[in-house]
Amino acid sequence: MGSNVSAYPWRALIENQGVEVGESGDQLTAICPFCRHHRNSFYLSPDKGLWICKVCGRKGNGPKLISLLLGVSYRQAAEMLEARAIPYADEKPEKRVIRLRLPREFEPLTLPEGVGNKRFWRYAKRRRLTPELVEAYDIGFCRSGMYSGRLVIPFYWKDELVSFFARDITNKQSRKVMSPL
C-alpha cells in the first residue's frame, strides 16, 4: 500500500467534502470534515496517508479516512487507495443516513435526586435549570465514557435528535463543552 498512498488524490477527496484545502509544509490542512471546527485543525500527510484533527482528536490512516468520508467499508477503502480511485460527484457512493444517538452512558436527570446524580443536580440548579426544564428538554448526564462528568443537553428537530452538547461539571477537563458534530 505504501507506494500508492502518496499517489492518491487526497486533495480531491477532502475538497469533495465541501472543504477548502490549504498547505502547511508538506501537509494538507483543512477544516475538519468531522467536527467542522472553524479553523484549519485537520492535517493530512499525503506521503504517509496519516491524518489528525487537533480539535476533535479523530485520527487514522488513509483507508480509515476514505472509509469514513465515503461511507464504504475499510476493505473497499483500501482497494480504492490501491487503485488510486476516488468517486467524483456523479459517481459518489450512496451516503448512509446516520441517526445520531445520545451517548450509551446517558442517564436522564430525573427527580428525586438520587445517589450518583446529586452533583449533576447541584450544577443544574446553579445554572437555573428547574425540574420542569430538565424534564421538558430531556436533560441528562453521563457518569462514565467519553462524556463522563458532563451534563448532556440534547437538541431535537421534529422529534428527531439532531445534536447535543455535553458540559463538564467538574471544571477539571480540558474541554468544557463537547459535541458529537
Which CATH number fits the domain that encloses residue 58? 3.90.580.10
State the pairing for strand pair 160-168/42-45. Answer: unpaired
Host domain of residue 49: 2-91
Residue 128 has pLDDT above 90, yes or no: yes
Residue 148 C-alpha cell reads as: 463522563
Q: Residue 154: what pLDDT?
A: 94
Query: Do 115 and 80 fall within a single domain?
Result: no
pLDDT band at 43 (very low <50, low <70, confident <90, very high): very high
Is residue 101 in a domain?
no
This prediction has a pTM of 0.47
Q: What is the mean pLDDT of residues 26-50?
A: 86
Query: Do 41 and 85 fall within a single domain?
Result: yes
CA distance readout (Å), 153 to 27, 99, 145, 149, 165: 37, 17, 16, 13, 6
- Comparing 46-50, 91-95, 127-131, 173-177, the range with the smallest average pLDDT is 91-95
Q: Residue 149: what pLDDT?
A: 92
Residue 90 has pLDDT above 70, yes or no: no
Q: What is the mean pLDDT of residues 75-91?
A: 69
CA distance readout (Å), 124 to 2, 112, 117, 130: 52, 14, 10, 8
Q: What is the mean pLDDT of residues 125-153?
A: 91
Query: Do 82 and 17 fall within a single domain?
Result: yes
How far is Cα 19 from Cα 164, in angstroms, rounded to an integer? Answer: 23
Q: What is the mean pLDDT of residues 111-117?
A: 67
Residue 33 has pLDDT above 90, yes or no: no
- The pair phi, psi for residue 103, each rounded to 5°, is -55, 145
Q: Residue 36: what pLDDT?
A: 79
> What CATH code is carried by the domain that includes residue 159?
3.90.980.10
Place of cell 458532563: 150
How far is Cα 51 from Cα 25, in angstroms, rounded to an integer? Answer: 14
Query: Do 121 and 70 fall within a single domain?
Result: no
10-28 pLDDT, tens digit per residue, is: 888 888 877 788 888 889 9
Query: Do 117 and 71 fall within a single domain?
Result: no
Place of cell 465515503: 70
Residue 91 has pLDDT above 60, yes or no: no
Between CA 66 and CA 71, with CA 69 as vertex, the angle to 5 degrees is: 90
Residue 149, exposed/middle/buried by CB under 10 A (0-12, 13-18, 19+)? buried
Strand partners, 147: none
Nearest alpha carbon to residue 165 among 115, 122, 127: 127
Mean pLDDT computed over every residue of the chain = 82
Place of cell 452533583: 119
Residues in CB range of 12: below 8 A, 6 or more apart: 86, 88
H or E segment and range at residue 81: helix 74-83
Q: Which amino acid is residue 98, in one-letter code?
A: I
